[in-house]
Structure 1
């Protein structure tokens, strides 16, 4: 508005000068007129110069106002920043900066170790701690040595709830605090949590599960041979005989597993006892109410040995069943068509050669009737050290975030999105879309099976389930003992106070 008035005043001033000059032209001659015109033009020039000067002054004034306003805004912004800094002193220090948590367990393949460590690294990055995982094929023996030497890890991953229970009763592992279990229990059903309970107290946090009642096969081989997927035990035996007659080796089987050699035989025993005699007898057998020498258990031993010892029934990549690895050799044999079937748990997909999983499928390990019980297993984390950092890791191991990260890394190691990873979980809150459709079905079965039983040998006292059951099974497979003698030896090893 001020600029507009400056222009108007300057224009009026110029007009008055011109008008005065023109008025004088009536009283004088031509020379006077010329002089007046020159004066008028000079006056107009002066007026225009004055107008330009006024506009320049106005522009300078406005620039000064704008500069002042900008300076004021900058000052206000700086003040706001200062106030914000005063109320927020910066990023807080990481909670467990500089702390180290050592974890051990039985998982040791490159894919398993890599995915497990990746999950730990992700958590460590957000807390400032360092988590170091060490896996070993001889975990069962090594944890005993570490305990005896007074140098246990901070946390260990137990594949056998029975061993965890033994340690708990000997006051070697720590009960999980209530606040930790409050977070963990949101992610697991009562059955999964129950395997970490010892005499009513929670000592273990579930972190991985496997579905065991599976037979892996190549649909293309079945189609080429005209074989139907068996739905009963008798049909499975008949299929075995038919394949042998056709020159096809039905089974790849191995029980070698370092210090744990023999556990594959225990899995077959558990699956068949659950099918032949039902869950009630199975439960009684696990708690020693039904002895190994019971004729029903011995009959299961004999059924397994009869099948495995049938001429032409088994391809053992290691030369003999007891010297053939429980998973890697059968996986290679199945992929190479050295055999048609492998009975192994859901983790078996993690051992399949890269690029072979698309040609391989599974069917349910047949039962004797319409009942379809499911055998499963899993690992539990137990703590030997009492510190906030250790309990933070324990709670994390029972979280969906831990499982999701493990799955992403393990699947990537096995070929990327859509590949079978071999890592499975009954965690209720994982992102199932991260798993291949087949393994999504495993998760569904683990969470919802009508009749589900945990691996029986893993629930037994460690001296039996991770001891004589393995060694006596190996003796039977090698022909060193018959089923009755092996059963008697296992019964004799059962701790009197268990």
Structure 2
């Protein structure tokens, strides 16, 4: 799964970059709330597997957990394809949502597995005359690109109405291009979390750190106990951009963050040097990374999680950084969230802890009554409520009840996301043109993979990042 989360971040200006900057006070409030989320005692993930939501048997009309009734058209005999890069449990759970749509409307929906970068995948499908009807796009930059290529179709009045009813203005705005609504952010993520093996911490005498210096001290304690501190999924470049973005947001602040996201300041800026230098305090210690830099670069994201929670108190690593969606991967091990696997907010590097958000938006490529109905459904609390109870998922839909989530930690995370309103920051690499921020082997992904291999080359990494950014942004 991708970025899909990490101040929750959204863009800084109306239009392409969303609502205006939140105040530092608002950012601190959101960060404090997010921190409070993780102070609770976690319980094991779970949930009903039947995918139902109390919808009843009548096609077209059903009552969701909110007590409201969403009416959908009868679409017997119509077919739809939905493309997404989701795999494993995430794909399986989303298919339960699609099954409910089929039950209510009579339409037949096929899930099409896509590859990153999804824009390239969609381009090949469109060139072959077989585009999916709806695509789940993990980057606002990808939505903009799909509009510029005349692939994306605007949302109709029913979908727009459902979106406006259930989403804050900020989450609506990041699905817009030139003021027109194209995307429904069905899925959100808090990408400012570090998960840890509780037995490893207990053996090391370590506690949950709140600052970057405390994190380094904790890592040393874990190392001294005989366990490698960090697991890093460096084979997937997006995990590395998330590391950088959390450090940069906390250290440089939200204003600089927005400027760098829009390439209004260069990657050769001193603030980038400071963030990379800080990041090298972890990446530059080979013994702190499971398998060393070479091993990390061969480790894909799912394995980076599972190897942290297998092997009892002698796993390959004691900690792994990534978002709330890590729970899905932990569920594939014998570890239980809340007892074996615990979590703390990404520590503050500067004045406040970072809280960065990501997400996946439903975008229509083949306009039809069925496609519009599906996106309308995905904008409803009925659809989000189904996947919420299955775990490993957060919705920016403010009308999904907290009780829909399967455990206390996810309920608190969901509350933090909704209470933050428009005071968040969206994943920086996801805001960038895909050539820079979202393509394997290129741009930011490749530059940070090279930096993981050689963390002493701060200046060279900055120069490469700037050259690639300038080419991608056209400035």
Shorter chain as normaliser: what TM range? 0.7 to 0.9
Unaligned runs of 5+ in 1: 1-89, 412-420
Partner Cα distance (1:473, 1:196) in 2: 28
Write out aligned runs for 1:19-418 (5 A): 95-109=74-88, 111-140=89-118, 141-256=120-235, 261-316=236-291, 320-336=295-311, 337-352=315-330, 353-358=332-337, 359-408=340-389, 411=390
- Determine the structure 2 residue equivalent to 1:437: 408
2:428 to 424, 446, 456: 456
Q: Is the CA contact (8 Å cut-off) linking 2:86 and 2:113 kept in structure 1?
A: yes
* C-alpha displacement of 1:281: 0.2
Partner of 1:424 in structure 2?
394
Query: How far did residue 341 of structure 1 move?
Result: 1.1
Preserved contact between residue 307 and residue 317 of structure 2 (Cα < 8 Å): no
Structure 1 residues 371 and 333: alpha-carbon distance in aligned structure 2, compared to 1, 3 A threshold? closer
Contact map agreement 1:94 1:128 (CA 8 A) in 2: no
- Can you list the C-alpha shifts for 1:53-102, whole angstroms capped at 9, x where unaligned? xxxxxxxxxxxxxxxxxxxxxxxxxxxxxxxxxxxxx9999721111111
- Deviation at 1:378? 0.5
Query: Residue 251 of structure 1 contacts residue 341 of structure 1 at CA under 8 Å; is this kept in 2?
Result: yes
Q: Which runs of 4+ in 1 moved over 6 A?
A: 90-94
Q: Which has the higher helix share?
A: 1
* C-alpha distance 351-203 of structure 1, shift in aligned 2 (>3 A): same
Equivalent-residue separation in structure 2 for 1:368 and 1:496 (angstroms):
29
Give the aligned partner of residue 476 of structure 1: 451
Provide the aligned length of Structure 1 versus Structure 2: 393
Q: Structure 2 CA distance, aligned partners of 1:99 and 1:318?
A: 50
Give the deviation of 1:236 after TM superposition: 0.9
SS in 2 for 1:315: coil
Deviation at 1:265, TM superposition (A): 0.8
- With over 3 angstroms needed to count, the CA separation of the structure-2 counterparts of 1:167 and 1:267, relative to structure 1, is same
Query: Structure 2 regions of 5+ residues with no counterpart?
Result: 1-57, 61-71
Q: 1:305 to 1:135 in 2, by over 3 A?
A: farther
Deviations 1:461-495 (A, max 9, x none): 11111131112222222339933333323322333
1:295-334 per-position Cα deviation (integer Å, ceiling 9, x unaligned): 2113322322331231321114996111101133332323
Distance in 2 (alpha carbons) for counterparts of 1:94 and 1:439: 33
Give me the whole-angstrom Cα distance separating, in 2, the residues matched to 1:154 and 1:471: 31
Using the alignment, how far apart are the partners of 2:263 and 2:451 within structure 1? Answer: 21
In the superposition, the TM-score normalised over structure 1's length comes to 0.74
2:55 corresponds to which residue?
Answer: none
What is the rounded CA distance, in whole Å, between the counterparts of 2:59 and 2:328 in structure 1? 41
Deviations 1:222-252 (A, max 9, x none): 2332212111111111222232233232111
Answer with 395-404 or 139-148: which moved more.
Answer: 139-148
Shift of 1:373: 3.2
Largest Rg, 1 or 2 = 1
Q: Considering only aligned residues, what root-mean-square deviation do their CA atoms show, in Å?
A: 2.5
- Determine the C-alpha separation between the residues in 2 that align with 1:175 and 1:224: 55
CA distance in 1, matches of 2:343, 2:150: 42
Distance 1:316 1:459 in 2: 31
Q: In 2, distance between residues paired with 1:307 and 1:474?
A: 14
